[in-house]
Amino acid sequence: MGEYLTPEMVSKLLHIGMNKTYKLFKIKGFPAVKIGNQWLVEGEDLRRFLSEYNGSQIALE
């Protein structure tokens, strides 16, 4: 099992605000899990998800 990242960690890693980070976590197909009130995503799953969008834009409206 790899390292799990919180939304705060993802926000800092991707240099985006928390509002956009939470929108990212709620995108259909995003590899996150919610345990209680805490969202988590495995680091490797995040890398894989972002690589699928390489060269394109992820709409977070």
- Domain assignment of residue 61, yes or no: no
* Spatial distance between the Cα atoms of 47 and 43, rounded to a whole number of angstroms: 6
pTM for the full predicted model: 0.88
- Domain assignment of residue 60, yes or no: no
- Domain assignment of residue 59, yes or no: no
Number of domains present in the structure of the chain: 1
Could you please report the per-residue DSSP string of 1-61? ---EE-HHHHHHHHT--HHHHHHHHTSTT--EEEETTEEEEEHHHHHHHHHHTTTS-----
Instruction: Label residue 40 by pLDDT band (50, 70, 90).
Output: very high
pLDDT at 56: 84
- Domain assignment of residue 18, yes or no: yes
Q: Which of 54, 59, 42 is nearest to 6 (CA)?
A: 42
Mean pLDDT in residue range 45-49: 95
Whole-number average pLDDT of the chain: 93
Q: Which domain holds residue 33?
A: 4-52
The CATH number of residue 33's host domain is 1.10.10
- Domain assignment of residue 58, yes or no: no
- Domain assignment of residue 57, yes or no: no
* Spatial distance between the Cα atoms of 12 and 28, rounded to a whole number of angstroms: 22
Instruction: Tell me the per-residue pLDDT of 9-35, one tens digit each, with 9 for 90 and over.
Output: 999 999 999 999 999 999 989 999 999
